[in-house]
Structure 1
Amino acid sequence: MKRVWRTVILLAGLMGLGGIFLFVMMRSGPLAPVPVTVAEVMNRAVSPALFGVGVVESGAVFRVGPTSPGRVRELVAQVGDRVEKGQKIAVMDPVDMDERISAQKASIDRLSASVKAAGARTAEVAAKKDYAEAQSKRYDNLLKSDAVSIDAAEAKRQERLATAAAWTSASAELQAARAELERAKADLSALVSQKESLDILAPAAGL
């Protein structure tokens, strides 16, 4: 009789535990009902809900600036502006650049006139030299036949030497004038290039 009651009590305990386990599974376990939330449908813009702080690193850095010291007259592009390659981003103050270019052009005009005058003098002296050489040869031939005196022939030789020296001097002056003219032209070209470099351009497209 006692054994029967023990069996009944054991079965009742097992059934109680099974009921509790089943209750838990139905309320919060995988068999629990899924809660459903009902909301009204609205039409509106979607805004990002994720925010953060970061650092943007540039892929390439270009250092730009004037080729000669001076003052910035105009800043066309600001920090952060998008620019294209070759776009003007700043302009330097030319100060007295235009006056220097004008003065250099005037100097070139004067030197060109000097070269022209030196060329004319050289041509004139060359003609005199050729004539003196011809006369000297002629008097040398006449001296051989005693048609002229030794003094007359010697005078023609001296005249030939003098005109040759004058031609050498005139040729040197002409070369010096031409060299000075070329230097002045080179200086003008440098001034023009310097003026053009006053416009600082973007070397590449970017920010």
Structure 2
Amino acid sequence: MNIESILHYINLYGYAVIFVCLFFGIVGIPAPEESLLFLIGVLCGRHKLSFEYGLAASILGVFTGMLSAYACGKYLGYPFIKKFGKYVGITDERWQKAVRFYSKNVQKTILFGFYLPGLRQISPYFAGITQISFRKFGLLSLLGTLAWTIPVMSAGFFAGKVFSINPAYIPCAGIISFLLFLSFVWLRNKRRARLTS
């Protein structure tokens, strides 16, 4: 999809397109959320979109998606996830991985889980199923939403001002960033294991 197509949809439907894409990405329908946030930032940097409106639509889409997934987890529970999760990318393997990761430190998982694709989709369901209080979840989700959307969009904004970026390569940038993050986590865990042994 090129910039003209994206701008065409935004011109037709407004910034609601950004809201809807990020909402469904968080609820669990596969979507390249980081790439979209970065691209929105690039378009803002080129003065094709308003940074304020783009950021507001992004934050509302992500935060509303988190609250909706939490409500599904709380009121529909694990049987619903088990039955329908496979249709939105929540496999048993991802679920068990999230349970282990989540159990170690609930607050950090909600707050920083946005940076891990898969975990950010499973985390709100799990918080609802495990009956984390709504106030606590809402506050941590809001802080996590801000800590994820603002830096990613800002990076796109400044990159869009400085460089001529072809939107076709933006998903590659998202993959590279994710691989760098995984490498960092792996190296940190390896170093910790070496220090404890």
Structure with a larger share of its residues in strand: 1
Q: Which has the higher helix share?
A: 2
TM-score band, normalised by shorter chain: under 0.3
For the pair shown, the structure with the greater C-alpha radius of gyration is 1
Using structure 2 for the length normalisation, give the TM-score. Answer: 0.24
